[in-house]
Structure 1
Amino acid sequence: MPRLFTGLEISAQTGLMLSLLRGGLRGARWIDPENYHITLRFIGDVDDPTADEIADALARIRRDAVEIRVNGLGSFGNGKPHAVWARVEPNRALMELQGEQERILQRLRLPAERRKYIPHVTLARCRSATNQDVARWLSEHGGFQAPAFTAARFVLFSSRSSVGGGPYLVEEAYPLSVAGGLGDDFNADAFAGHDFG
């Protein structure tokens, strides 16, 4: 039974810059740079027929490429921090892509996402870091900013339910149109389909 989510991949340059932030936070489990991504919609554990239905429905999305700007850092957790992340600036194209996926998945009878969508790249899960540890780390690195890049596709990822933070596998990739051709980071070989059955 696959555990699925949709997301956008990070450019190699941004991934390298984010990887340089690793360390200096006690009790953090850092995400491997090859697993950096921007989640669009967490789907969860589904059976194989539902996974195929989701993959087919997502293939009908027709949207433009999305400009991504990673700017600033933050943390999740009320009272006790559970993750630190890099902020992705919301823009219209990104929010509309995420909203369309939410509507498609609800039409497939999957439960609605209850949390407000906050685009971000998770950098580390906090096992035993305190609020003070996280505040110190954020103050030391808070001015983070990476050059903008264009996401020319979105991806249906799978992960093993027993492990948080990867490895994530690309099950399907869906192109987003780019005026004047595909971006430099585009990899046509990654468009191989996958049968969940």
Structure 2
Amino acid sequence: MPRLFTALEIPRNAAMSLSLLRGGLPGGRWIDVENYHITLRFIGDVDGRTADEIVDRLDRIDRPEFSLSLNGVGSFGSKKPHSIWAGVSPAPEMFALQAEIERICQRIGLPPDPRRFSPHVTLARLKASRVEDVVHYMAGRGDFSTVPFTVSRFVLLSSKESVGGGPYLTEEVFPLHEAVSRPVLSSSASHPAKSMV
């Protein structure tokens, strides 16, 4: 069974903005635009029965769609940087969705994810990049941001065992429901005017 993980997709406009960040860093292996995503929960290699159970449970998630934007760049591995990423706006709905997926995974017997959820889009894997080159790269791109976009679904992706970075295959799609906006009562609606007649 291939490695599985749940993720949010990056729409084309935001992905094209991210693609402008490619290059300018020695030792960087840049992720292909079509493989950009925000990992919600890495599941790993599981047998077919467990995979089916995961899909069945994820299919029952009933959460509203929400808005996200991408902003800023950073790196993982302070003394020996190993990847460059773009940041993700902290939407409460995204954290709630991720927490529910984590609970589902633990309920069916998967070990807890040892890493704290830190939403990001990986842009490049680094091999022997110097810290000063990474700092210089990030200094010129810190004001990066995209226009907000609506997240209307999450996906189950699979990847072949590799160094990372794709290609990824969409195994299942799980729609989120439309957010219901509550009507705002105006002061005149909540306190009807008395008839003057």
Q: Do the two structures share a fold, i.e. TM-score over 0.5?
A: yes
Alignment-derived partner of residue 13 in structure 1: 13
Alignment of 1:84-163 (within 5 A): 84-163=84-163
AA matched with 1:39? T
CA distance in 2, matches of 1:133, 1:177: 44
Alignment-derived partner of residue 38 in structure 2: 38
SS in 1 for 2:154: strand
Alignment-derived partner of residue 72 in structure 2: 72
Asked if structure 2 preserves the Cα contact closer than 8 Å seen for 1:80 and 1:131, the reply is yes
AA matched with 1:5? F
CA distance in 2, matches of 1:172, 1:153: 10
Alignment-derived partner of residue 53 in structure 1: 53
SS in 1 for 2:51: helix
Give, in angstroms, the shift of residue 179 of structure 1.
3.7
When Rg is computed on C-alpha atoms for both structures, the one with the higher figure is 2
Identity across matched positions, percent: 57
CA distance in 2, matches of 1:127, 1:118: 22
CA distance in 2, matches of 1:122, 1:38: 8
- Cα deviation per residue 1:81-100 (whole Å; 9 max; x = unaligned)? 01000000112101000000
Alignment-derived partner of residue 164 in structure 1: 164
CA distance in 1, matches of 2:162, 2:92: 34
Q: Structure 2-normalised TM-score? A: 0.89
SS in 1 for 2:95: helix
- Cα deviation per residue 1:49-80 (whole Å; 9 max; x = unaligned)? 11111111110100001211101111101420
Give, in angstroms, the shift of residue 163 of structure 1.
4.0
Alignment-derived partner of residue 2 in structure 2: 2
Consecutive unaligned residues in structure 1, runs of 5 or more: 181-197
Give, in angstroms, the shift of residue 142 of structure 1.
1.0
Segments ≥4 residues shifted beyond 2 Å: none
CA distance in 1, matches of 2:74, 2:176: 28
Give, in angstroms, the shift of residue 161 of structure 1.
1.1
Q: Structure 1-normalised TM-score? A: 0.89
SS in 1 for 2:99: helix
Q: How many residues align?
A: 180
AA matched with 1:29? R
Asked if structure 1 preserves the Cα contact closer than 8 Å seen for 2:7 and 2:155, the reply is yes
Consecutive unaligned residues in structure 2, runs of 5 or more: 181-197
Give, in angstroms, the shift of residue 118 of structure 1.
0.7
